[in-house]
Amino acid sequence: MRSGNLKYAVLGLVASQPEGVHGYKLKADFDALSDDFWQVNYGRLYRVLDHLEQRGDLEAVEEVQSGRPNKKVYRLTERGRQSLDDWLLQPVSDDPQPLRDEISLRLLFLRDDNVEALADLIKQQRGIYLTRLARIARRRRKLEKSGVNMKVVGLIMDGAEMRVRADITWLEHIERKIVRTF
Amino acid sequence: MIRFDSVTKTFGNGRSRVLALEDLDLVIPAGEMCAIVGPSGAGKSTVLHLAAGLITPDRGAIRIADRELTGMTVDELTLMRRREVATVFQFFNLLPYLTAWENVALPLRLDGVGREEERERVAEALDLVDVGARAQHKPAELSGGEMQRVAIARALVIEPRVILADEPTGNLDSTAGRQVMDLLRDLNDETRVTIVIVTHDPVWASTCDRAVRIVDGEIVEDLSFREPGGTDPPDTVH
Amino acid sequence: MLRLISTISLRELRQTPLRALLMFSGIAAGVTLLTAVNIVNGSITEHLKRSARMLAGRTALQVIAPGAEQRVAVRLVPALASVDGVETASAVLDTIVPLADRPERQRIFAADFSDQRLAAAYGIRLDGGANPATLLIQPGAAVATRDATAAPAPSVRSARLAGAAGTVTLEIVGRLANGSPLAAAARDLLVLDMVEAQTVLGLGDVADRIDIILDPDARIESVRDGLYEALGPGFEVVTPAERGVEFARIIESFQSTVQAFGLLALVAGVFVVYSATSTAVRARTRSLGTLRAVGVTPGQIVAMLVGEVILVSLAASVIGAIAGLAISFGLSELVRETMSMIYFYPFAGDNPALDAGAFGIAVMAGTTAAIAGAVVPAMRTLRMDPISAINQEPLAVQRDTGSSRRLLLLALVLGLAAAASIPLEIRWKSATLGNIVSITWFIAFVLFSVPAVAWLATRISPLLERGLGVTGLIAAQNISVSARRSAVAVAALALAVATQITFAGLGHSFEKSIDAFIADFMNADLVVSSNHTKGGWLEDPIDAYEMARLADVEGVRRIDAFRLLPGQRLNEHRISVLAATRSFLDPETFGKWFVEGEPVDALARVRDARAVLISQTLAHFTELKAGDVLELPTPSGVLRLPIAGIIVDYTSDRGSVILDSATFALHWNDLRVSRILLHASPGVPSEDLRGRVTAMLGSRDDLRVQNHQEVIDLQRREFEESFKATGVLELFLIIVTITGIIDAVVSSVSERKRELALMRATGATPLQLQRIIMIEAWVMILAGLSLGIVGGSLSAWMWVNFHATYFLGWIIDFHFPWVTAARACGLAALAAAAAAYVPARFAAREDVLSAMRYE
Give the range among B127-131, C271-275, C803-807 with minimum mean pLDDT: C803-807
Which chain B residues are Cβ-neighbours of C386 within 8 angstroms? 54
**Is 90 exceeded by the pLDDT of residue C761?**
no
Query: Chains with 3 or more CB pairs closer than 8 angstroms to B?
Result: A, C
pLDDT computed for residue C236 by the predictor: 81
Please report how many Cα atoms fall inside a 13 Å half-sphere around the Cα of residue C71, on the Cβ side. 21
* C290–B94 C-beta distance less than 8 A: yes
Strand C612-615, strand C556-570: pairing: unpaired
Closest residue of B to C4, CA-based?
B110
pLDDT computed for residue B29 by the predictor: 93
Closest CB to A138 among B203, B223, B236: B236
Per-residue confidence band for A107, with pLDDT thresholds at 50, 70 and 90: low
CB C780 within 8 A of CB C744: yes
Mean pLDDT on B100-121: 85
pLDDT computed for residue C525 by the predictor: 86
State pLDDT tens for residues C336-394.
Answer: 777 766 665 666 666 777 788 888 888 998 999 899 888 888 888 887 777 777 765 54
CB C8 within 8 A of CB C14: no
Residues 262-291 of C with CB under 8 A from B: 286-287, 289-291
SS3 call for B178: helix
Q: Which residues pair with C99 in a beta bridge?
A: C161
Q: Is B204 on the interface with C (CB under 8 A)?
A: no
Q: Is C299 on the interface with B (CB under 8 A)?
A: yes
Which chain A residues are Cβ-neighbours of B211 within 8 angstroms? 130
* C289–B93 C-beta distance less than 8 A: yes
pLDDT computed for residue C715 by the predictor: 76
Alpha-carbon span C179 to C113, nearest angstrom? 20
A172 vs C611, higher pLDDT: C611
Q: Is C850 on the interface with B (CB under 8 A)?
A: no
Which chain A residues are Cβ-neighbours of B39 within 8 angstroms? 172
Helix ranges (DSSP H) in C482-586: 483-521, 545-551
Give the range among C75-79, C688-692, C766-770 with minimum mean pLDDT: C766-770
Q: How much is the mean pLDDT over chain C?
A: 79
Across C376-512, the runs of DSSP E, i.e. the strands, are none
pLDDT computed for residue A139 by the predictor: 81
For chain C, the maximum distance between any two Cα atoms, rounded to a whole number of angstroms, is: 100
* Distance from chain centroid for Cα C685: 42
Residue C770: phi, psi to the nearest 5?
-60, -40
Q: Amino acid letter at C659? A: L
Closest CB to B185 among A123, A129, A141: A141
Per-residue confidence band for B120, with pLDDT thresholds at 50, 70 and 90: very high
Residue A138 C-alpha, separation from nearest chain B C-alpha, in angstroms = 7
Per-residue confidence band for A95, with pLDDT thresholds at 50, 70 and 90: very low
Q: Which of C2, C294, C853 to mutate to test the interface with B (most CBs of B within 10 A)?
A: C294
**Is 60 exceeded by the pLDDT of residue B231?**
no
Q: Amino acid letter at C177? A: A
Per-residue confidence band for B79, with pLDDT thresholds at 50, 70 and 90: confident
* C287–B82 C-beta distance less than 8 A: no
Residue C416: phi, psi to the nearest 5?
-65, -40
CB C618 within 8 A of CB C656: yes
CB B86 within 8 A of CB B154: yes
Per-residue confidence band for A33, with pLDDT thresholds at 50, 70 and 90: low
pLDDT computed for residue B232 by the predictor: 44
DSSP state of C9: I
Mean pLDDT on C388-405: 56
Residue B154 C-alpha, separation from nearest chain C C-alpha, in angstroms = 8
CB atoms closer than 10 angstroms to residue A39: 11
Could you give the angle at the alpha carbon of C216 between the alpha carbons of C215 and C219, nearest 5°?
Answer: 75
Q: Is B235 on the interface with A (CB under 8 A)?
A: yes
Q: Is B182 on the interface with A (CB under 8 A)?
A: yes
**Is 80 exceeded by the pLDDT of residue A166?**
yes
Per-residue confidence band for C20, with pLDDT thresholds at 50, 70 and 90: confident
Closest residue of B to A139, CA-based?
B235
Q: Could you tell me the CA-to-CA distances from C570 to C65, C332, C575, C624, C631 in Å, in that order?
A: 13, 31, 7, 12, 8
Spatial neighbors of C782 by CB under 8 A, at least 6 apart, are none
Q: Which of B18, B47, B78, B117 to mutate to test the interface with C (most CBs of C within 10 A)?
A: B78
For chain B, the maximum distance between any two Cα atoms, rounded to a whole number of angstroms, is: 55
Q: Could you tell me the CA-to-CA distances from C177 to A146, C46, C181, C187, C244 in Å, in that order?
A: 97, 22, 9, 11, 25
Residues 29-68 of B with CB under 8 A from C: 45, 49, 52, 54-55
CB C746 within 8 A of CB C19: yes
SS3 call for C214: strand
* B74–C387 C-beta distance less than 8 A: no
How many interface pairs between A and B have CB atoms less than 8 angstroms apart? Answer: 43
Please report how many Cα atoms fall inside a 13 Å half-sphere around the Cα of residue C740, on the Cβ side. 35
Which chain C residues are Cβ-neighbours of B49 within 8 angstroms? 387
Closest residue by Cα to residue C283 from C305, C313, C258, C259? C305
**Is 80 exceeded by the pLDDT of residue C534?**
no
Closest residue by Cα to residue C422 from C408, C432, C433, C414? C433
Closest residue of A to B203, CA-based?
A133
pLDDT computed for residue C699 by the predictor: 66
Strand B67-68, strand B218-224: pairing: unpaired
Q: Is B79 on the interface with C (CB under 8 A)?
A: yes
* Distance from chain centroid for Cα C309: 31
Residue C482: phi, psi to the nearest 5?
-115, 60
Mean pLDDT on A48-65: 85
* Percentage, residues of chain C above pLDDT 70: 85
CB B157 within 8 A of CB B111: no
Q: What is the DSSP string of C798-832?
A: HIIIIIHHHHT---------HHHHHHHHHHHHHHH
pLDDT computed for residue C215 by the predictor: 87
Residue B213 C-alpha, separation from nearest chain A C-alpha, in angstroms = 10
* B96–C294 C-beta distance less than 8 A: no
Give the range among C37-51, C651-665, C749-763 with minimum mean pLDDT: C749-763
Which chain A residues are Cβ-neighbours of B188 within 8 angstroms? none
Mean pLDDT on C521-537: 74
Alpha-carbon span C624 to C632, nearest angstrom? 13
Alpha-carbon span B222 to B214, nearest angstrom? 9
Mean pLDDT on B160-187: 88
Sheet holding B2-11, edge to edge: B18-28, B2-11, B59-64, B67-68
CB C768 within 8 A of CB C820: no
Is the alpha carbon torsion for C83, C86, C90, C93 positive or negative? negative
Alpha-carbon span C173 to C138, nearest angstrom? 9
For chain A, the maximum distance between any two Cα atoms, rounded to a whole number of angstroms, is: 69
pLDDT computed for residue A90 by the predictor: 63
Q: Which of B91, B94, B110, B159 to mutate to test the interface with C (most CBs of C within 10 A)?
A: B110
Residue B27 backbone zone (phi > 0: left; psi -120 to 50: alpha; other: beta): beta
Across C55-104, the runs of DSSP E, i.e. the strands, are 61-64, 72-73, 86-98
CB C487 within 8 A of CB C452: yes
Query: Is the whole model's pTM more than 0.95, yes or no?
Result: no
Q: Is B111 on the interface with C (CB under 8 A)?
A: yes
